[in-house]
Amino acid sequence: MRNFVFVAFVWCLTCASPLLAKPILLGSHSVWPPYVQDDDRGLSYDIVAAAFARSGETFALEVAPFSRAMRLAQSGKVDVIPALWYTQARAQQFFFSTAYLHNELIFISLAAHALPFSGLRSLNGKRVCMIRGFAYQNLVRGYPAIGVISQLHLSECLQQLARGRVDGVIADRFAAAYAITHHFQQEIFTVHTQVIASWPLHIGILKTHPRSRKLIGLFNQGLSAIIQDGTYQHLLSQYPQIGQEQGINPISH
């Protein structure tokens, strides 16, 4: 009888264990190589997953158009936006983590059509392509003479430029370098060196999420840990086109 009770007890524990397992943290973002390349791939995924893993959290990523990813977070269907720039409007809804990367926006034009660039004002009367839904579109709102064309992916913007359908593209410097290297002949573009704007990159978690403050704290602790033990620099090294200035200085942590 004792043996039967013991076996029944073990069986109950086995059946219950899936219920006791910690749920996976689900994030969503648009494809934005090399930061987000596919489900569970890309530099942002690598860093976010490694930081959360330090506290035993499992992070998974589901790609979706950025505007849809934001709606999924707002409806509670995903937990994390893994790559998010801070804006005052977003700060009303989201908690932001410590920055884990820095982005620099630059301008790209066709090499065959010399286009002088000295800031956004010099683009008045030009057609410029940007990724749909990204916060940096706010930068051009003060320049109504700039014609803005949006696409879901940076590669689509670069295709529009290569075909002469737009005069230029505004994009993250590293994302642009990655896209050009992998999909285009580099010599057809001029990548202008002037930085239009620079932003830190964070994860964002909706304030109404039941674990929002806790998860932000766990991520920040995990990020500090992977910076200190060299994991962070190792992850960056897997993407050789990234400039070290776009990473996070370990001294700051």
Considering the entire predicted model, what is its pTM?
A: 0.81
Q: What percent of the chain has pLDDT over 90?
A: 72
Average pLDDT over residues 55-79: 95
Average pLDDT over residues 142-171: 94
Confidence label for 93 from pLDDT (cuts 50, 70 and 90): very high
Would you say residue 243 has pLDDT above 90? no
Give the chain's mean pLDDT: 87
Would you say residue 64 has pLDDT above 80? yes
Would you say residue 14 has pLDDT above 50? no
Confidence label for 22 from pLDDT (cuts 50, 70 and 90): low
Q: What would the pLDDT profile of 97-110 be if each residue is shown by its tens digit?
A: 999 999 999 999 99
Spatial distance between the Cα atoms of 147 and 166, rounded to a whole number of angstroms: 9
Would you say residue 77 has pLDDT above 60? yes
What is the three-state SS of the chain? CHHHHHHHHHHHHHHHHHHHCCCCEEEEECCECCCECECCECHHHHHHHHHHHCCCCCEEEEECCHHHHHHHHHCCCCCEEEEECCCHHHHCCEEECCCCEEEEEEEEEECCCCCCCCCHHHHCCCEEEEECCCHHHHHHHHCCCCEEEEECCHHHHHHHHHCCCCCEEEEEHHHHHHHHHHHCCHHHEEECCCCCEEEEEEEEEECCCCCHHHHHHHHHHHHHHHHHCCHHHHHHHCCCCCCHHHCCCHHHC
pLDDT of residue 182: 86
pLDDT of residue 124: 95
pLDDT of residue 184: 87
Average pLDDT over residues 40-64: 96
Q: What would the pLDDT profile of 176-219 be if each residue is shown by its tens digit?
A: 999 998 888 889 999 999 999 999 999 999 999 999 999 999 99
